[in-house]
Structure 1
Amino acid sequence: MLMRIAHKDTTQNPDGSAALKRAEQTGLRLAVLCRTLAIGVFAAWWIGVGLMAGTPIAPSAYAILIGLTLLGATTYSVVGTRYDQWWLKYAIYSADILAICAVFALVPVRSGSDIPQIYAFKAWGVHVFFPIIAMACLSLSWRLVLWSGAVAVTGWASAFTFVIQDMPRRLEWADMPLNADANDYATLFLSPDFVGTGNRIVESGMVLTTAGILALAVYRARRVFFAQLAAEEARVGEQAAREHATGILGKYVPEAVALQLVNDTKALVPHEVEGVVLVADIAGFSDFASGKPPTEVIDRLNTFLDHAATCVSRHNGVVILFTGDGLLATFNTPIPMDEPEKAALACAHDLVAQARRQNFALRVGLASGPLAAGSVGSSERQAFTVYGETVNRAARLETLGKDLNAAIIADTGVAQTSDEIELTLSGEHQLKGIPGSWPIWTWRPD
């Protein structure tokens, strides 16, 4: 299960795998450098102690030390190049561990003496493997850590078996006399025939346990790495999506408004609010388009609608949809604002002026009142829309403008906020499909 999960963390995220591979290579170089320095320090210490004691180390030990040093230098220069292979790190750690095992099995405990080789296991011990296994963690490969522990136990057992195989007599802890005293203990432990198989088993268990714990720690570190990478990618993706959405919304609303829309998802949840609906339409557009090439008509229309959307945005309104040669915009939804009636009326005035500069006559209907607003559509595609009697009234007011020869046609709710644009009361009128008569206020250009 552990291997299957670890395989997934490097296959489901190619970018993460590449980043982790670079980190592994850097860690492996550091591990190789550390082990080479450690071998150099140990060799210097070993040679120095031997010279001071008048017992230089055996030639075989020199050969092992030189070979390990050259192996480290070669590996360091190869890691990360085209000659690097997946098995290289396993090979160098195996070589280090097996070289140590060879020292225990073949290098005399004291040069020029006949001390039994079994004393090498008593004088030193399995703890010499712990730094190597710890350095394997630097490679960020939990498999290498486990491999190092397994090779250490196997090599340790093989070296021990090699040493004791020709011993004519072997003593174990079971040979300790009953009610033994200190002398009995010293006699048994210091005996050249004492092998202590139980000690070797315990030591092997310690190595495997340590390797397992360190491998688990490395594995957890890798999982944390991928979790952080996934979180960072999600953050970047979300930021990109927000910027994309802001860029699109920014065509119709101010940047600050677009950011609020993107960041505040509640603004798009269906809700009811008091607001203003603006419906604008180009008067006589069919006559304008008649006889002109379609591309010219579309270009002129796009130019006008682009300026119109910018105008709505400048007054903090939101274009809900384009209606052929016009548009429908809202004020106070989905973006809350103060005095939406005043903003809508000012926007209508600017839209009419903009249309005149482009040789268009524009009619704008403005209605205030309750609006039902929110996102509608399928699970895969949705659109923000507004609906209700206020929307219908704004559309009917725009149509009524043709009969009244007015550019802006507003209801009383909008007209009451007029302090800069003078509206004229044009009597009460019936609106198609809406019961009752409504006071209508109009504005005409000079």
Structure 2
Amino acid sequence: MEQKQESTVRNLSHGGSDDASVLQRHLVSEANAALRKGALAALMPAVTGATVIPVLMWAGLIQGMHVPVLFCLLCIVSCSALYLLARRERVHGWRAWAVLLPFVSLPTVFFLMSHALMPSGAATFIAGPISHLYFVTLAVAGFLFDFRLSAVASVVAAVSYQGCFLLARNGLRTISAPDPMLVQEFTSTSINSFKSLMIFFGGITLAALAVVTRRLVERVLREERQKNLLSRLFGQYVSEEVKERLLKDPHAQSGERKEVVVLFSDLRGFTEYSETAAPEEIVERLNAYFDAMVGAITEHGGIIDKFIGDAVMATFGGLVPLENPSASALEAAQQMRQRLHALNTRWWREGRTAFDTGIGLHVGEVVLGAIGSEQRKDFTVIGDAVNTASRVESLTKQYGHPILVTSALYSRLPAALQARCRALGTAQVKGRRAALELYGLPDAHSAPEVRGGEEAPHPRDTLVT
């Protein structure tokens, strides 16, 4: 049973068999979101070129730049199409290769257009700024976080540039200058081969960055998935410290046997009260009550296991190590009574009925873990200790003590807390053969509160039962 629970919780913690597909979907979404920004960034220089170049030609500052203008328009169309595809999250799988490899080849298209339309062919613009556009297109391809795609794109860009240079070589050889080094810079195959290598290694660098970014995104997505899982298992009433510990130690969620303190708290007479009260008032008062009780429990290291109607079940010492879980639980119970007293004082002043509670505490071995069906699981504890704590809570009204603890818990208390407890003898509870030895903790707020010459009655005096 423990192995099965551990396997179940591990599947939940790491996403189970569906984790890869879910993670891939999130990764595709994040990659396409990044690709949209990359497409917009690449669109800016294309729009600028399509706007500024005609103005400069009209002003007579440059001439014969019709091919670059056409190329800028082509880039605008390409970047816009890439943006729209990424917006629909269609750039993934084989589509990513089919879309981004041609996109990386845009500078090559420009050089081929020049070779077909310009008198000097590809040599007209091969040494200009368009060759640097390879780095821009490779950067955009890197936004998809795919190392293989980026690496292949780097090879395509480098080989394409080298091929375009070979097309332009004859035209480049017509260039003359007094400085032979300057001529060599334009015409040397070796030097331009180094340019191809720079394009290749620049793309590989971007591919490596894509890998690092992908791992970071995957880690963030996994952590977010685990946090969502913890929120589903524990709800909003578990401290961030507990969640962080569970994220760092997934084995803490595994089904395992542990000794924990179980606390049960139940409102007295709430059923009768709810029969006559307005639903809105019931919800408002219950929320205020639960907020107060949860605060008292979590401040002492406890974890809310569940709410059962108007009852609260909590555990101490299961997930978060405590120096003395029994002492922490009893101190939390006392603070719960203090906070209830403060709530009752406020409600009494508003003319509302006061509430009273019973709290039962027991310590024992339980099975702790994520338990439930494949569709829905709750992180909880099960075992005899849970049933016993519930039975003890039900005895509080009979014994006249709002807080009852068993001898098992009493024996683990420090002397100062033991001195505050009162031995009540033994009691037989349903589901147990052996009688329980019980101890009661007197209410710290038994004295009435005085306001304006009137005494604020104790909850037991105003409670409708």
TM-score by structure 2 length?
Answer: 0.59
Structure 1 residues 217 and 96: alpha-carbon distance in aligned structure 2, compared to 1, 3 A threshold: farther
Contact 2:264 2:361 in 1 (8 A): yes
Q: Distance in 1 between matches of 2:374 and 2:267?
A: 35
Match of 2:23 in 1: none
Match of 1:227 in 2: 211
Contact 1:276 1:330 in 2 (8 A): yes
Q: Aligned runs of 1:158-197 on 2, under 5 Å?
A: none
Aligned with 1:289 (options 271, 274, 277): 274
Task: Give the superposition deviation at 1:152.
Answer: 3.9
Task: Give the superposition deviation at 1:320.
Answer: 0.2
Task: Give the superposition deviation at 1:331.
Answer: 0.3
Contact 2:227 2:243 in 1 (8 A): no
Matched, 1:324 2:317: no
In structure 1, the residue corresponding to 2:363 is in which secondary structure?
strand
Task: Give the superposition deviation at 1:298.
Answer: 2.5
Tell me the amino acid that sits aligned with residue 36 of structure 2. A
Q: Deviations over 1:328-358 (max 9, x none)?
A: 1000012121101011111111222323433
Match of 2:265 in 1: 280
Matched, 1:434 2:429: no
Aligned with 1:268 (options 253, 256, 260): 253
Structure 1 residues 131 and 362: alpha-carbon distance in aligned structure 2, compared to 1, 3 A threshold: same
Q: Distance in 1 between matches of 2:238 and 2:193?
A: 63
Q: Which runs of 5+ in 2 are unaligned?
A: 1-26, 50-61, 81-102, 139-152, 174-187, 345-353, 447-465
Matched, 1:342 2:327: yes
In structure 2, the residue corresponding to 1:341 is in which secondary structure?
helix
Structure 1 residues 100 and 73: alpha-carbon distance in aligned structure 2, compared to 1, 3 A threshold: closer
Q: Distance in 2 between matches of 1:402 and 1:104?
A: 95
Task: Give the superposition deviation at 1:89.
Answer: 3.8
In structure 1, the residue corresponding to 2:39 is in which secondary structure?
helix
In structure 1, the residue corresponding to 2:424 is in which secondary structure?
strand
Matched, 1:93 2:91: no
Matched, 1:362 2:339: no
Match of 2:31 in 1: 13
Q: Distance in 2 between matches of 1:258 and 1:72?
A: 60
Task: Give the superposition deviation at 1:102.
Answer: 3.1
In structure 2, the residue corresponding to 1:432 is in which secondary structure?
coil
Which shifted more, 344-353 or 287-296? Answer: 287-296
Structure 1 residues 208 and 409: alpha-carbon distance in aligned structure 2, compared to 1, 3 A threshold: same
Q: Distance in 2 between matches of 1:277 and 1:440?
A: 15
Aligned with 1:412 (options 389, 395, 407): 407
In structure 2, the residue corresponding to 1:20 is in which secondary structure?
helix
Aligned with 1:397 (options 384, 392, 395): 392
User: Structure 1 vs Structure 2: percent identity of aligned residues?
Assistant: 19
Tell me the amino acid that sits aligned with residue 139 of structure 1. V
Task: Give the superposition deviation at 1:376.
Answer: 1.6
Q: Distance in 2 between matches of 1:23 and 1:217?
A: 22
Match of 1:423 in 2: 421
TM-score by structure 1 length?
Answer: 0.61
Q: Distance in 2 between matches of 1:208 and 1:10?
A: 37
Structure 1 residues 286 and 299: alpha-carbon distance in aligned structure 2, compared to 1, 3 A threshold: same
Q: Distance in 1 between matches of 2:326 and 2:312?
A: 18
Aligned with 1:149 (options 146, 149, 162): 162
Task: Give the superposition deviation at 1:130.
Answer: 8.7
Task: Give the superposition deviation at 1:220.
Answer: 3.8
Q: Aligned runs of 1:235-274 on 2, under 5 Å?
A: 235-238=219-222, 240=224, 251-274=236-259
Contact 2:46 2:76 in 1 (8 A): no
Task: Give the superposition deviation at 1:151.
Answer: 3.8
The count of corresponding residues between Structure 1 and Structure 2 is 342
Structure 1 residues 240 and 104: alpha-carbon distance in aligned structure 2, compared to 1, 3 A threshold: closer
Q: Distance in 2 between matches of 1:274 and 1:332?
A: 8
Q: Aligned runs of 1:362-381 on 2, under 5 Å?
A: 362-381=357-376
Structure 1 residues 83 and 255: alpha-carbon distance in aligned structure 2, compared to 1, 3 A threshold: closer
In our comparison, the structure showing a higher alpha carbon Rg is: 1
Q: Aligned runs of 1:25-104 on 2, under 5 Å?
A: 70=65, 89-90=107-108, 92-94=110-112, 102=120
Structure 1 residues 208 and 11: alpha-carbon distance in aligned structure 2, compared to 1, 3 A threshold: farther
Q: Deviations over 1:23-80 (max 9, x none)?
A: 656899999xxxxxxxxxxxxxxxxxxxxxxxxxxxxxxxxxx757x57986999898
Q: Distance in 1 between matches of 2:287 and 2:29?
A: 48
Contact 2:122 2:164 in 1 (8 A): no
Structure 1 vs Structure 2 CA RMSD: 4.7
